[in-house]
Amino acid sequence: MKISADTDKELAKRSLKSFRKISKEFRNKAKSIEFAVKGDGTTIQFPVSALDGIETILKNLAEGKRSEILSEKQYMTTQQAADYLDVSRPFVIRLMESGKLPFKKVGRHRRVLFSELKKYDEKQQQITLKKMQQLSEESQKLNLY
């Protein structure tokens, strides 16, 4: 039986809502969480640390997006890095060549560790948040807010 993408999206939306509620309740109270399969009673135990990843997969499915699990030690191509950062490939190459994003060369191809890419992205988000806070403070001082 083939399930349509629309059915997957709806199921993921319903599951996400329930999953978030359960996850929130158990996140700080337990080291693992156990799910039972309806019907045969099989149980599956997940470490609490896996809950964020499962939630992300459900969220992406609910939005009709693909999900991929990456290791922190996995190397990515410049195009994969660009897709992850939601920027152009030439922009990623400029980041690499300017030293803002560490990389290694495999032949003539550039590769970046996923952990380095995440670190760069988190740093940029912190900078953006700080600048937004500064703008908000300035607008309040000037009574523009």
pLDDT of residue 8: 86
pLDDT digits (tens, 9 = 90+) for 117-145: 999 999 999 999 999 999 998 888 888 76
Q: How far is CA 5 from CA 23, 31, 54, 67, in A?
A: 25, 33, 18, 14
**Arch. (CATH architecture) of 75-141:** Orthogonal Bundle (1.10)
Mean of per-residue pLDDT scores for the chain:
89
pLDDT of residue 71: 84
Which pTM was predicted? 0.61
Q: Which range scores top for mean pLDDT: 10-14, 49-53, 57-61, 99-103? A: 99-103
Helix ranges (DSSP H) in the chain: 5-26, 51-62, 78-85, 89-97, 114-141
Do the first three CATH levels of 5-62 and 75-141 match, i.e. the same topology?
Answer: no
pLDDT of residue 36: 87
**Arch. (CATH architecture) of 5-62:** Alpha-Beta Complex (3.90)
* Percent of the chain residues topping a pLDDT of 90: 45
pLDDT of residue 145: 62
Mapping DSSP to helix (H, G, I), strand (E, B) and coil, where does residue 42 land?
Answer: coil
Domain boundaries, the chain: 5-62, 75-141
Mapping DSSP to helix (H, G, I), strand (E, B) and coil, where does residue 39 land?
Answer: coil
